[in-house]
Amino acid sequence: MPIVGPDTKTDLLFVVVRHLMLKPQSELSKAERMIVAVDWLDTQVGADGFYGFFAYDLGSTPIIVEALESIGCPKTASIVAKAIAVLGPVDLTDPKALDQAVDRDGVCERLSEIDFLYYDEPEPIEDHLWAFIERSVDDIHLH
């Protein structure tokens, strides 16, 4: 049985994610990190493309493909993997290295091309993320 109806999902998702973002990364469960990562991807790529996602990374890059697959968005995961491949060999856990990779010649243009793949092949990320939250409710702590 769903926790809430469709009219309140977006607002509740916003509240859940913002609450999780206030917690130190080290205190987040794996499910919580995945929720934050997917929301951050959707927010940043929607606003600034993959460049924005990588340039303003919150530590989500190393787990984003796994997170998308876990919530049931394999097409989006594949697109994100292509964007990560554009960066070339880079330590995804090192924010400085990630920032340098994004700023290399030609990377921004190639990421912009992948932005269109993301926009043109939309999976209902929010719906999948909400379903993941419902399945993972025991691993999510909002206190």
Taking only the tens place, the pLDDT of each residue in 20-73 is 788 888 898 999 999 999 999 998 998 899 998 988 887 888 899 999 999 999
**8 A C-beta contact, residue 115 and residue 50:** yes
The token pair at 8 is 């309140």
For residue 122, name the pLDDT band (cuts at 50, 70, 90): confident
What phi and psi, each to the nearest 5 degrees, are found at residue 69?
-65, -40
**Reported pTM:** 0.84
Q: Which residues, 6+ apart, have CB-to-CB distance to 120 below 8 Å?
A: none
DSSP category for residue 128: H
Q: Which amino acid is at 51?
A: Y
Indicate the SS3 state at residue 34. helix
